[in-house]
Amino acid sequence: MAWFKRSKENISPNTLKKELPDGLWEKCPSCNEIIHKKQLETNLWTCQKCSYHFRIGSDEYIKILLDEGSFKEVNRKMRSADPLEFIDTKKYSSRINDTINKLGLYDAIRTGTGKLNKKDVAFGCMDFRFIGGSMGSVVGEKIARLTDTAFKNKIPLIVISASGGARMMEGAFSLMQMAKTSSRLARLSEAKIPYISIVTDPTTGGTTASYAMLGDINIAEPQALIGFAGPRVIRQTIGKDLPEGFQKSEFLLEHGFIDVIVPRKDMKETISNLITILD
């Protein structure tokens, strides 16, 4: 779960935003271009100068990928039960409550059904903003149920991952969500129903080591960080700096773990083509 540390290394758009007067401007973290929010939205939250893909949430992906108004969300209010009554420097239950109040999201994934170019799909999208997009019991259960929806209705499954990995505050329960989601995907696969995994920046740890890598087709957005261990841990282990582009989408494609890298503007058409061909 690397989101705690990473915020210091990569300056997030949120902190930069504050430096700009009216909150209508964003600075591209990659090339420093100042972009108006409206323009950014028109450009699907990518930089028009260097095509950097800004981190976005489920609202944005629903808009980008699904036909307008077609998304029917389920289990929206499912929330963590804090099964371990976990306390570190803060109570996990308070962390959950605060995040829910702040974001209006109940956990790190939203799931439901929708239409993609008029084709029915089971659709799930993670939100990295919710405790680093970490996977606990709620994320696991919602993905499991979504997979069952795809299974029962014989419609393709699409999951967008953005996650720091399994959620520490649910201990072994979080770990078991890897097995839970993977076993449901195995059943879906036996039924020959397509699963398209879309991996976005960043996706690491237990999420990568389960559903994110198990697509019939694994698609990545450009330049996304995708890995098992976080870069900081690897750097500590080997005691050396990591090579340029290590654990980026392009690196994974080169090593054979991603089928195709697709820019956001082409994502909907690409998925649409794939599910038509596989049907």
Partner 1 sequence: MAKTVLDFEKPIVELEAKLEEMRKFSDNLDIEKEIVKIEEKVKILKENIYKELTRWQRVQLARHADRPYTLDYINLMTTNFIELHGDRHFKDDKAIVGGFANLDEHKVLIIGHQKGRDTKTNLYRNFGMPNPEGYRKALRLMKLAEKFNKPVITMLDTPGAFPGLEAEERGQAEAIARNLFEMSKLKVPIIVVIIGEGASGGALGLGVGDRILMLENCWYSVISPESCSSILWRSWEYKEQAAEALKLTAPDLLKQKIIDRIIPEPLGGAHKDHQEAAKMLKGVLKEELSQLIKIKPEKLVENRLEKFGSMGEFIE
Which residues of this protein are in contact with partner 1, per CB under 8 A? Answer: 1, 4-5, 75, 77-81, 83-84, 86-89, 136-138, 140-141, 144, 166-180, 182-187, 189-190, 205-206, 208-214, 227-229, 233-234, 237-238, 242-243, 246-247, 251, 255-257
Give the residue with the Cβ less far from Zn ion, 51 or 70.
51
**Cβ(227)–Cβ(204) below 8 Å:** yes
Interacting span for Zn ion (CB under 5 A) from 46-54, 88-96, 107-115, 248-256:
46-54
Least separation in angstroms between residue 70's CB and partner 1 is: 24
Is 148 near Zn ion (CB under 5 A)? no
Give the residue with the Cβ less far from Zn ion, 11 or 87.
11
Give the residue with the Cβ less far from Zn ion, 37 or 115.
37
User: Would the CA dihedral through 181, 186, 192, 198 be positive or negative?
Assistant: positive
Pairing of the two strands 25-27 and 34-36 = antiparallel
Give the residue with the Cβ less far from partner 1, 114 or 231.
231
Per CB under 5 A, the list member of 47, 108, 126, 252 interacting with Zn ion is 47
Query: Does an H or E element contain 56, and which?
Result: none
Is 50 near Zn ion (CB under 5 A)? yes
Nearest to 205 by CA among 144, 96, 132: 132
Q: How far apart are CA 272 and CA 65, in angstroms?
A: 9
Name residue, tokens 């919710």: 130
Least separation in angstroms between residue 83's CB and partner 1 is: 4
Number of residues that bind Zn ion (CB under 5 A): 8
Is 52 near Zn ion (CB under 5 A)? yes
User: Would the CA dihedral through 12, 77, 123, 146 be positive or negative?
Assistant: positive
Give the residue with the Cβ less far from partner 1, 27 or 110.
110
Least separation in angstroms between residue 244's CB and Zn ion is: 18
Residue ranges in 247-266 that form contacts with Zn ion under rule CB under 5 A? none
Give the residue with the Cβ less far from partner 1, 78 or 103.
78
Q: How far apart are CA 44 and CA 53, in angstroms?
A: 9
Buried b (16+ CB within 10 A) or exposed e, 128-157: bbbbbbbbbbbbbbbbbbbbebbbeeebbb
Is 49 near Zn ion (CB under 5 A)? yes
Per CB under 5 A, the list member of 1, 28, 62, 108 interacting with Zn ion is 28
**Cβ(265)–Cβ(44) below 8 Å:** yes
- Out of Zn ion, partner 1, none, what residue 49 binds, judged by CB under 5 to 8 A for its kind, is Zn ion
Which amino acid appears at position 134 of this protein?
S
Which amino acid appears at position 129 of this protein?
R
Is 30 near Zn ion (CB under 5 A)? yes
- Out of partner 1, Zn ion, none, what residue 88 binds, judged by CB under 5 to 8 A for its kind, is partner 1
According to DSSP, residue 31 is labeled: T
**HSE toward the beta carbon, residue 164, CA cutoff 13 A:** 18
Q: Which residues bind Zn ion (CB under 5 A)?
A: 28, 30-31, 33, 47, 49-50, 52
